[in-house]
Amino acid sequence: MSKRAAFATRVGAIAAAVGSAVGLGNIWRFPYEAGVNGGGAFILVYIVCILIMGIPVILSEFIIGRSTHSNMKAALRTLSPGKKYYLFTYVCILGSFVVIGFYSVVCGWIIEYLYQAALGNLSEHSSAEYSEMFNGLISNPWRCVGWTMLFLVINFIVMSRGIEKGIERVASIMMPLLFVILIVFCVNSLLLPGASKGLDFLFSPDFSKLTWKGVLEALGQAFLSLSIGISCLVTYSSYFDDKTSLVKDAATVGILDTMVAILSGVMIFPAVFSFGVEPTAGPSLIFEVLPSIFQQMTGGYFWALLFFLLVFFASLTSTISLSEIPITFMIEEHKMSRPRAILWTALITFALAAVAALSFNVLDDIKLWGKNIFDMMDYAASNIFMLLGGLFTAVYVGWILDRKVIRDQLTNGGKLKGAMEPYLIFCLRYVAPVSIIFIFLYLTGII
């Protein structure tokens, strides 16, 4: 077998995994989901989901990936020879296309806002006008499709330069910067008149506002945000070296990702209440609120530009990891060359993303359960694909995988303490499957 690429440094490997996790899921989707689901109680459930399911599933994906140094399908075949578990990989591949399909449309919106920021258009309007501006964008098929395609072209150019050069460099510079700028924005938001209402909304849980559907969405959001359930972290950790402590890395990814999500909430909600925007606005929420924040800041032009630039890079490191799933699969399972695998992945992604981008305008008549195609993809990605994937991973590692492989990976062959093992196994065997299955059954009306 030819030598697989590897991350040059340990920091590079973690930065890439954090780069995959931190993206629009945290900055765009988390605030909108929290807003729609009533705030505080949703966030509390979200954090619990991260601790008892999210981090254990990250660790499981790391165990599968690093113990075999291969893609999900090959990994499952190596770990369970003669069994058919590897077939689940196809669900993961499908899931990764659904995620990237709607996700790249939002990345397209980010480029439009970057462009508007460069033109200086994000500093002189009222919040009502910003809401019109967003509606103008999504109802224009050319702009939506154009920006989405531009984003995807950039994504696939970066990918064609290979794992190390492309991903590592971008991720290790931009992520820390994003963190700092989020803090600057939070401080600004907190200084707005009426900011305390936003904090109340975020941090005083009102369980009467949370439904079981909200709990499902908190869990789906946690999985989407951590990039788990569609074998993304299996692929990434297959490039990890054998000295890395998987437990530490999984905790780092989980904690940093959650911090970015919470910071995004603290940045958005004080402003939501201060400017009188509806917290339940949904996918348009941050696009309606952010410009008003920039406007209040000295040097707003510069901040707006910097913010959208960093979010652009954060999304890029996520879409890179998403597209790496089918690409690695095609290369290793179908013996394609890398350029060819990239081409196929790009073509399928272009088609799906175009449909998603058109679902607010040309295709907006097509609705199922009141959702247009974009909303359906957004919903199905996290609440169906990632949850099913999370369930599969938890059950596979908790019940089926040889315990020796788990112990070996947790302790690096006996060199580290394996104190996490009982907690991990308990969460994987009982907590995650029971919760996921219960929520599914409850929502489908079976119980």
Extract the tokens encoding 196: 């305390």
Tell me whether residue 26 or residue 189 sits nearer to ligand PHE (CB atom). 26
Tell me whether residue 26 or residue 188 sits nearer to ligand PHE (CB atom). 26
CB of 316 to ligand PHE, least distance (A): 11
Determine, following the binding rule CB under 6 A, whether residue 99 of this chain makes contact with ligand PHE.
yes
Stretch that binds ligand PHE, among 11-19, 35-43, 156-164, 221-229 (CB under 6 A): 221-229
Determine, following the binding rule CB under 6 A, whether residue 388 of this chain makes contact with ligand PHE.
no
Q: 237, 318, 372, 435: which one contacts ligand PHE (CB under 6 A)?
A: 318
Nearest residue (beta carbon) to ligand PHE: 25
Distant-in-sequence, close-in-space partners of 215: CB < 8 Å, separation ≥ 6: 45, 439
Determine, following the binding rule CB under 6 A, whether residue 189 of this chain makes contact with ligand PHE.
no
Q: First and final CA of the chain: distance in angstroms? A: 50
Determine, following the binding rule CB under 6 A, whether residue 321 of this chain makes contact with ligand PHE.
yes
Torsion angle of C-alpha atoms 172, 178, 180, 181, degrees rounded to 10: 150
Extract the tokens encoding 210: 């949370």
Give the C-alpha distances (Å, rounded to integers) separating 113 from 71, 329, 431: 36, 34, 41
CA-CA distance, 84 to 210, in Å (whole number)?
39
Residues 12/21, Cβ–Cβ less than 8 Å: no
Could you identify the residue written with the tokens 């659904």?
98
Distant-in-sequence, close-in-space partners of 52: CB < 8 Å, separation ≥ 6: 427, 431, 432, 435
Q: 49, 64, 92, 232: which one contacts ligand PHE (CB under 6 A)?
A: 232
Determine, following the binding rule CB under 6 A, whether residue 53 of this chain makes contact with ligand PHE.
no
Determine, following the binding rule CB under 6 A, whether residue 227 of this chain makes contact with ligand PHE.
yes
Phi first, then psi, for residue 69 (nearest 5°) are 50, 45
Q: 18, 21, 152, 285: which one contacts ligand PHE (CB under 6 A)?
A: 21
CA-CA distance, 378 to 356, in Å (whole number)?
10
CA-CA distance, 426 to 398, in Å (whole number)?
8
CA-CA distance, 252 to 15, in Å (whole number)?
10
Tell me whether residue 104 or residue 127 sits nearer to ligand PHE (CB atom). 104
Determine, following the binding rule CB under 6 A, whether residue 155 of this chain makes contact with ligand PHE.
no
CB of 68 to ligand PHE, least distance (A): 19
Determine, following the binding rule CB under 6 A, whether residue 224 of this chain makes contact with ligand PHE.
yes
Extract the tokens encoding 115: 């462009």
Determine, following the binding rule CB under 6 A, whether residue 322 of this chain makes contact with ligand PHE.
yes
Stretch that binds ligand PHE, among 20-28, 64-72, 152-160, 341-349 (CB under 6 A): 20-28
CB of 311 to ligand PHE, least distance (A): 10
Query: What is the binding site for ligand PHE (CB under 6 A)?
Result: 20-21, 23-26, 99, 224-225, 227, 230, 232, 318, 321-322
